[in-house]
Amino acid sequence: MKHTKSTALFEEANRVIPGGVNSPVRAFQSVGMPPVFIDHGKGSKIYDADGNEYTDYICSWGPLILGHAADAYYDGIDEALRKGNTYGAPTEIEIRVAEMIIDAYPSMDMVRMVNSGTEATMSAIRLARGYTGREKFIKFEGCYHGHSDSLLVKSGSGTLTYGVPTSPGVTAGTAKDTLVATYNDLDSVKKLFDENKGEIACVIVEPVAGNMGVVPPDSTFMKGLRKLTEDEGTLLIFDEVITGFRVAFGGAQEVLGIKPDLTTLGKIIGGGMPVGAFGGRRDIMEKLSPLGPVYQAGTLSGNPIAMKMGLNTLTYLKEHPEVYTYLEDCAKQLEAGFNKNIKETGVKAKMVRFGGMSALFFTDQEICDFSSVMTSDTKTYAKYFAEMLNRGNLMPPAQFEGIFVSAAHTKADIEKTIADNLAALKALA
C-alpha cells in the first residue's frame, strides 16, 4: 500500500500540531511508522487519504458500536443542527439521555453530563472526596482514567506505550494522595487500606481493564473489592467509559452483578461525539452544585447535538439487544481464529477477550495484571501491526490497546482478518 498523501499530511501537521496529532496514540510512534490520515468511514471500513481501504478494529477506540456512519446515528440530526448546536441553558434531550442511562444502570439514581471521560473520572473523584471528607484514593497500576493530573500515576493507554507511567508536569503534591494497587490482587488493596486507615475516599477501577490491552477481572476480585470498600466506608467507582453500553447494555456491572457507588461513562453515550457522564446514588449526587457544595461545571456539557447522537445510539441498542450477542459472536470468532493461527505458527502470543472486547499480546505469559502485560514484545507487535495494515486491517497502533468490533463487521470481514492474521504471524515466525 502507498501512503504518500498520509505522509505529506503528517509532515504538514507536525508544523502546527505537537507531534502532528491531537492524541498521542494516533502518531503510530509505538509501531515505528507515520500514521495514516483518514478521509472517511462506512460500516466496518475506514478509508485513508490515499484511498486505501481497511477493516477497522479501532472504531474510534470504542464509541462506534454500530460502525462508521450508521444511519441510526443521524436520525433527526439535521433538524437538531438547524435548531442550534449550543445554548448554555438546559434542554429536554438532556433529561431523556439521563433517563435512558439511569434505566440501564440500576446503580445510578442521578447522572451529570460532561464533555469527556477525563472530565467524568476527575469529577467523580472530586465528588467522592467531597462526600466522604477524605482526600486519598486508590487506582490500579496500568489502568487509565483520563489525563487529569492525579490520575496520571502509573497509568495505562498511551503512557504505557511511551514508557511514561507518570507524566512530567504532575507535581509531587498532586500525586501524593494517589495510592496505587495491583489489578486482580485484592491483598494489595487491603494493604493500602491498612496503611491509610480512614483516609481513603474512593477506589476507582476499570471493571474490565481496557487501557493496558484487555485484562478481564478475576472471578472473585471485583466482588471482594465491593465488600472491602463497603466495610471501609469508601466509595467504589467503576470507570465504564470503555465498557459502558459495550460489553452489555448495562455495562460490565450488569455482567459482573456488582453495583458500584459511582459510575463514569463516555464514548458510546455520545454516538461518536465528545461526551462523558458520571452518576450514582442520589445521596452522593446531591452533593453536587447547585444542590450541594461540590463544584462541577462545563459550558458544553449536555450539548444538544452530542445528546441527540447519543440518544439515537442508545435507543437503537435498547431496541436491538441482539447487537450484543452479535458482537460477542464476532469477538469469539476472532479469538478462536487467532488462537488457531498462534498454535499453527508457534508464535509466542496470547489472545484475551471479554465480551466483544479483545486484545492480542505478544507474550507467552498468562495475562492477569500490569506486570504480565508488560512482558509483551512491543517490537514484534510493531511488525505485526505493519503486516496487518498492509493486508487491509487497521488494528490498534499500540500493543496496549484493545480490539473493537462493531455491529457493521460481517462474518466475512472476520474470516478475512483471521486469514490475514495467519499470514502476518507466518511473516513473524
Residue 4 has pLDDT above 70, yes or no: yes
Could you tell me if 89 and 233 lie in one domain?
A: yes
Q: pLDDT tier at 153 (50, 70, 90 boundaries)?
A: low
Mean pLDDT, range 401-429, rounded to an integer: 97
Query: What is the reported pLDDT for 144?
Result: 80
- Please tell me the total count of domains within the chain: 2
Same domain for 78 and 97, yes or no, is yes
Based on the domain organization, do 84 and 116 belong to the same domain? yes
Which residues are known to be catalytic? 144, 239, 267
Same domain, 122 and 156: yes
Neighbours of 57 (CB within 10 A): 23
Separation between Cα atoms, residue 102 and residue 132, nearest integer Å: 23
Q: What's the pLDDT at 177?
A: 87
What confidence category does residue 173 fall into, taking pLDDT thresholds of 50, 70 and 90? Answer: confident
For 391-412, how does the pLDDT look when each residue is reduced to its tens digit (9 = 90+)? Answer: 999 999 999 999 999 999 999 9
Asked whether residue 370 carries a pLDDT value surpassing 50, the answer given is yes
Residue 151: what pLDDT? Answer: 73
Shared domain check, 270 and 128:
yes
* pLDDT average, residue stretch 379-394: 98
Q: Which of 275, 301, 319 is at the close of a domain? A: 319
Going by pLDDT thresholds of 50, 70 and 90, the confidence category of residue 185 is very high
* 305-328: average pLDDT: 98
The answer, yes or no, to whether residue 220 has pLDDT greater than 90, is yes
Would you say residue 162 has pLDDT above 50?
no
Of the pLDDT bands very low, low, confident and very high (cuts 50, 70, 90), residue 175 is confident
Is the pLDDT assigned to residue 142 strictly greater than 80?
yes
Domain harbouring 112, CATH code? 3.40.640.10
DSSP secondary structure letters along 338-404: HHHHHHHHT---EEEEETTEEEEESSSSPP-SHHHHTTS-HHHHHHHHHHHHHTTEE--SSTTS-EE
* The CA-based dihedral angle spanning residues 146, 148, 154, 156, taken in that order and rounded to the nearest 10 degrees: 20
Q: Is 7 helix (H, G, I), strand (E, B) or coil?
A: helix
Q: How confident is the model at residue 160 (pLDDT cuts 50, 70, 90)?
A: very low
Name which of 63-67, 112-116, 217-221, 357-361 the model is least confident about.
Answer: 217-221
For residues 22 and 145, membership in a common domain is answered with: no
pLDDT attached to residue 170: 72
Give the residue carrying C-alpha cell 502518531.
Answer: 27
Q: Are residues 189 and 253 in the same domain?
A: yes
Judgement on whether residues 144 and 114 belong to the same structural domain of the protein:
yes
Give the CA angle between residues 125, 129, 133 to the nearest 5°: 170
pLDDT of residue 429: 84
Which of residues 294, 319, 344 is at a domain's end? Answer: 319
pLDDT of residue 161: 36
Domain boundary among 268, 293, 319: 319
- 367 with 221, same domain: the answer is no
Domain residue limits at 150: 72-319
pLDDT at 336: 98
d(CA 158, CA 293): 34
Residue 343 banded pLDDT, cuts 50, 70, 90? very high
Predicted local distance difference test score (pLDDT) of residue 426: 97
**Selected residue with higher pLDDT from 169 and 133:** 133
Please tell me whether residues 158 and 38 are part of one structural domain. no
Average pLDDT over every residue of 346-365: 96
